[in-house]
Amino acid sequence: MGLTCAERLAELGLVLPPPPAPAAAYQPWDTLGDTVYTAGQLPIVDGALLRTGRLGDPLTTAEGAELAATAALNLLAVGAAAIGDLERLRVVKLTVFVASTPDFTEQHLVANGASELLAAVLGGHGVHARSAVGVSALPLGSPVEVEAVLTRH
Amino acid sequence: MGLTCAERLAELGLVLPPPPAPAAAYQPWDTLGDTVYTAGQLPIVDGALLRTGRLGDPLTTAEGAELAATAALNLLAVGAAAIGDLERLRVVKLTVFVASTPDFTEQHLVANGASELLAAVLGGHGVHARSAVGVSALPLGSPVEVEAVLTRH
Amino acid sequence: MGLTCAERLAELGLVLPPPPAPAAAYQPWDTLGDTVYTAGQLPIVDGALLRTGRLGDPLTTAEGAELAATAALNLLAVGAAAIGDLERLRVVKLTVFVASTPDFTEQHLVANGASELLAAVLGGHGVHARSAVGVSALPLGSPVEVEAVLTRH
């Protein structure tokens, strides 16, 4: 209702982190025409991974959803840097990889943590198509990894 | 030969299901320019997942391929709704996630169930680039999940 | 410095393999506008998979990185065929699937094998956004599978 994305972030008590520095062998995003492809984002805060381990054991669905939201906050930072303006960011497609024990089957509920944050901050422009899958392990032992296709609206 | 996609579907004894309703946190597809990104589709019929469990144990490759074909039928429904016309649908890229035991290595044969259905219904426009990977688990315990990049031809 | 991509390949002692033949149910790449989507590439040389098995057991990170580089060489072959000219190839997005034991967490280091080869051959046009994830198994028992979004520059 008239709030900017930056204001919605502040109401959620969140601060957009600085965009991640490019790693040695790849960069945080690349652009082709109107389409921005992001690198996979982890639940890293101030350079440190918040948790390690898999969903199912030891992490719960609620913990996973919070971690997914943190990864999505990093995605917003990448997107704002790529587009040049958080207010013009639109999320088109989200893929959520969830490190999972073989019997954990709530990847979609973990992914909701990311999806809901994006919609809370970006409004309708944060609503996207999505896949959520359970993987055996992720870099650095991260419980979740979130990548997106983004654009400017 | 001159058959429409709808006629090919009927010859296969298949009926296009209604497109899935948007879930709470995301939508079944999103469009950016000419490109349609779909959400991951599961082998759901009339709102119920046909099977649960992993390929390798207890599911066989043949069972997995059938389930992948059912997920691909849901993909056709999403695509027809997104494009507005099944007859104009083209499949560009398919990603097939297969819930797999660590020693199951026929993900490509499972994925053929989806690829072959798409080609049988859409003809040349159903032939696509593809990745098939084995994951540890999928939402709701689904054995397969199929997502696609689609366009209008 | 003024070297062509073909000359850089030769300096690395590498030869671009022939592009893979289309498989029965899908094709090695598909194009939508300026965007080329590749099929997932395996570390296959002369039609044979170099190794099978997972990272963590029995394969080491260094072995995985070499295998990822071989898969990336096949990706270059697909891209050169799709674009029609290796010298004009640009890599936009790379996804690296690494067959992993649940406690292997160096997927990003394995993926560097692919990323570094692409940059070594294509220069700045080989630098891309990237996701690396650990999966339970891959087709034919492959340790790695690499797919990309490519374009012409």
On chain A, the residues whose CB falls within 8 A of the CB of C34 are 32-33
Q: Spell out a b/e string for C123-133, using b for 16 or more CB atoms within 10 Å of the CB, else e.
A: eebbbbbbbbb
CA distance B33 to B51: 36
How confident is the model over B64-84, as a mean pLDDT?
97
Whether residue C37 contacts residue C29, with contact meaning beta carbons closer than 8 Å, is answered with yes
CA angle C97, C101, C107 (to 5 degrees): 40
The whole model's pTM is what? 0.98
Q: Is residue C1 predicted with pLDDT exceeding 80? A: no
Q: What amino acid occupies position A62? A: A
Closest-CA residue in chain C for B120? C25
Q: Tell me what percent of the residues of chain B surpass a pLDDT of 90.
A: 94
**What's the pLDDT tens digit per position in C25-65?**
899 999 999 999 999 999 999 999 999 999 999 999 999 99
By the CB < 8 Å criterion, does C110 face chain A? no
Q: What amino acid occupies position B55? A: L
Query: What is the reported pLDDT for A2?
Result: 85
- How would you classify the pairing of strands B58-59 and B54-55? parallel
Query: What is the reported pLDDT for B152?
Result: 98
Q: Is residue B24 predicted with pLDDT exceeding 80? A: no
Q: What mean pLDDT value characterizes chain A?
A: 96
On chain A, the residues whose CB falls within 8 A of the CB of B96 are none
Nearest to A135 among C33, C127, C134 (CB): C134
Least confident range of A131-135, B91-95, C23-27, C113-117: C23-27
How confident is the model over C85-111, as a mean pLDDT?
98
Count of Cβ atoms closer than 10 Å to residue A4 Cβ: 12
Query: What is the reported pLDDT for B51?
Result: 98
**What's the pLDDT tens digit per position in B129-139?**
999 999 999 99
- Paired residues of A135 in beta bridges: A99
Query: What is the reported pLDDT for B1?
Result: 57
CATH: 3.40.190.10, 3.30.1330.40, 1.10.645.10, 2.40.320.10. Which one for A5-9+35-152? 3.30.1330.40
Query: What is the reported pLDDT for B112?
Result: 98
Count of Cβ atoms closer than 10 Å to residue B153 Cβ: 12
Q: Is residue B10 predicted with pLDDT exceeding 80? A: yes
Q: Which segments of chain C does DSSP mark as H helices, in order?
A: 5-11, 61-83, 107-122
Q: If residue C36 lies in a helix (H) or strand (E), which one and from where to where?
A: strand C35-38
Q: Which two tokens stand for residue B80?
A: 């027809």
By the 10 Å C-beta count (0-12 exposed, 13-18 middle, 19+ buried), C140 is classed as middle
Q: Which two tokens stand for residue B103?
A: 């020693």
Superfamily of domain B34-152: RutC-like (3.30.1330.40)
CA distance A65 to C26: 35
